[in-house]
Homo-oligomer: A and B are copies of this chain.
Amino acid sequence: MYYYQALQRNATMFGDDVGTSFGERERTWKEVELRVAKLAGALVEQGVEQKNHVAILAMNSDRYFEYYNAIPWIGGVVVPLNIRWSLKENIYSLENSESSVLFVDDAFLEMGKELAKQCEKIQLIIYMGEGETPENMLNYEQLIDNASALAPVKNDYNNLAGIFYTGGTTGFPKGVMLSHTNLWSSSIIVTAEIGLNVAGERYLHAAPMFHLADVGISYATVIGGLCQVFVPYFDANSVIEIIEQKKVNHVLLVPTMVTMMLATPTLSDANFSSLKHIIYGASPMPEGTLIAAMEKMSGVKFIQAYGQSELSPVISILPAKYHVLEGAYAGKLRSAGRAGYCLRVEIRDENGTVLPTGKVGEIVASGPNTMLGYWKSIEQTAATLIDGWVLTGDAGYMDEDGFIFLVDRLKDMIVTGGENVFSIEVENALSHHSAIQESVVLGIPSKKWGESVHAIIRLNEGQEITDEEIRSHCREYIASYKIPHSIEIRIEPFPITGAGKIMKNELRAPYWINKTRAIN
């Protein structure tokens, strides 16, 4: 279905209930539907046509949600830009995506002006902010005020719905092309398996809305009739406050956000009685962090969703009941769960042969949520999308019950003395130490071993630890060749992507200047 059809369904069924809540601003589903129909009307009046690409560079807000509905309403293509990107990266993706319209908010106003100057294709800039509308831009609210409501434009579910840029830490980002069916199928399996379908409950957009992790889970909750609550960006204190104040029931967090919340003193006193689910995903959650979170927020159920943009994004789900350390459902906590209802997942070797239970290989997946391909990149598409299967680039294995255990990004694997060490496994071991807040484990050059295991560690406030203590702690969890050979304590936060993933590439790069890794 089209994204906006879930909104329409809610307007029909729960029209007078609150649909969006942003700060003091609350609107009913009927109001949101009308605003979207008018925004769509305004865009068409401005000459925006079906199949036009419409970009957005903004913090989270109710208007961002309206954008996601209005663009498919006119048969356009959404192009949500990464809020962490440099000017250069934004220019690249605007030009690469051939976007002719840009939505921009106050946080990105200066960037928007610069993009307007440098990107010739951009013909229309819509200012979503609260201040005075800059020259050469149109005001979002004025557009809606002056427009007539438009009926949705006839379209096809298999048409391109959006281009979602991914990667970009090395080389330029790739534009993942997703259809309406792609986006819908990924979300409905979340609704189906997790049951985020109690109309009137509240979902908080805490992760950035440009990113598919939030798009996928929130769409599942829109389908289920849930009120959409927004914070402009993730900040542990304000997210804790909003959950309390607005009685949020469900939130998607990436692991670094969970780490930050655990390090926030106000968490202990927070009233999280409304909070039913924390859905986490987008990068692997270290086991120690997960257990600490489960202990500190004991009334909350945790659900893992593993995926990537190329799968719109959900691949597998680990339901709440497996988040236990004892009993019949124990033993799956470190897994990424099982294939979603619409998917087939296999583990394959480098020749494409399906591997048996327990063997580590590349995780590949296929379903109605399989991307259409990479935008304007036949080569990259051919390398990733083979006969309808996406090669995820993740290494993992499957157990006898079909649970997927991620061991590493293929590119992050460390080859030391002929042995494979999976960085996630070492990070997991480190995560169990109470002094350690977070860690990154990398392969760095070693004359003797090819690569050696290097750990960069951030400690919890006021903690100290010796290398020998760390190594002796690790010995309880992992084999000796996996134990960090060199250790570095760091104070400053790790660099993270717009989606909150730690940028391992960037942390690894300094060690490899003028050297070539075997895995690349």
The distance in angstroms between the C-alpha atoms of A338 and B372, with both chains bound, is: 32
Chain A interface, number of residues (Cβ within 8 angstroms): 37
A368 & B12 in contact (Cβ 8 Å cutoff)? no
A381 at the B interface (CB under 8 A): no
Min CB distance A224 to B, Å, is 8
Q: Mark A1-21, 1 if CB is under 8 A from B, else 0.
A: 100011011001110000000
Best-surrounded residue of A6, A192, A368, A388 (most CB of chain B within 10 A): A192
Residue of B nearest to A157 (CB): B368
**Is A452 among interface residues, defined by CB-CB distance under 8 A?**
no
Q: A184 to chain B: which residues have CB within 8 Å?
A: 342, 368
Report the minimal beta-carbon distance from A50 to chain B, rounded to whole angstroms. 15
Complex Cα distance A464/B280, Å? 65
Name the distance in Å between A75's Cβ and chain B's nearest Cβ.
Answer: 13
Which of B1, B195, B342, B387 touches A367 (beta carbons < 8 Å)?
B1
A178-193 contact mask (Cβ, 8 Å, vs B): 1 or 0:
0001001100110111
CB distance from A296 to the nearest CB of B (A): 30
Q: Is A273 an interface residue (CB 8 A)?
A: no
- For A151, the closest partner residue in chain B by CB is B354
Interface membership of A96, Cβ < 8 A: no
Residues of B within 8 A of A223 (CB): 192, 341
Q: Which residues of B contact A401 (CB under 8 A)?
A: 13-14
Determine chain A's interface SS by DSSP, over half rule. mixed
CA–CA, A191 to B342, complex, Å? 12
Answer whether residue A402 sits at the interface, using C-beta atoms and an 8 A cutoff. Answer: yes
Q: Which of B14, B157, B193 contacts A197 (CB 8 A)?
A: B193
List, in ascending order, chain B residues with CB within 8 A of A14's CB. 401-402
In the complex, what's the smallest C-beta–C-beta distance from A29 to chain B, in angstroms? 11
Distance of A387 Cα from B345 Cα, bound (Å): 36
Q: Does A339 contact B (CB under 8 A)?
A: yes
Cβ contact within 8 Å between A197 and B188? no
Whether, in the assembled complex, A154 has its beta carbon less than 8 Å from a beta carbon of chain B, the answer is: yes
A188-B192, A192-B188, A193-B197 known; A342-B1 Cβ under 8 A = yes
Which residues 366-423 of A sit at the B interface, judged by CB distance below 8 A? 367-368, 387-388, 398, 401-402
Cα distance A5–B5 in the bound complex, in angstroms: 27
With A158-B158, A195-B195 as known contacts, state yes or no: A188 contacts B341, CB within 8 Å: yes
B residues in contact with A343, CB < 8 Å: 1, 9
Could you write out 20 A-B pairs with CB less than 8 Å apart?
A: A1-B343, A6-B341, A8-B344, A9-B343, A9-B344, A9-B402, A12-B339, A12-B402, A13-B338, A13-B401, A13-B402, A154-B387, A157-B181, A157-B368, A158-B158, A181-B368, A184-B368, A188-B189, A192-B223, A197-B341
Q: Closest 4 CB pairs between A and B?
A: A13-B402, A192-B192, A12-B402, A191-B192
**Interface set of A (CB-CB < 8 Å, partner B):** 1, 5-6, 8-9, 12-14, 154, 157-158, 181, 184-185, 188-189, 191-193, 195, 197, 223-224, 338-339, 341-345, 367-368, 387-388, 398, 401-402
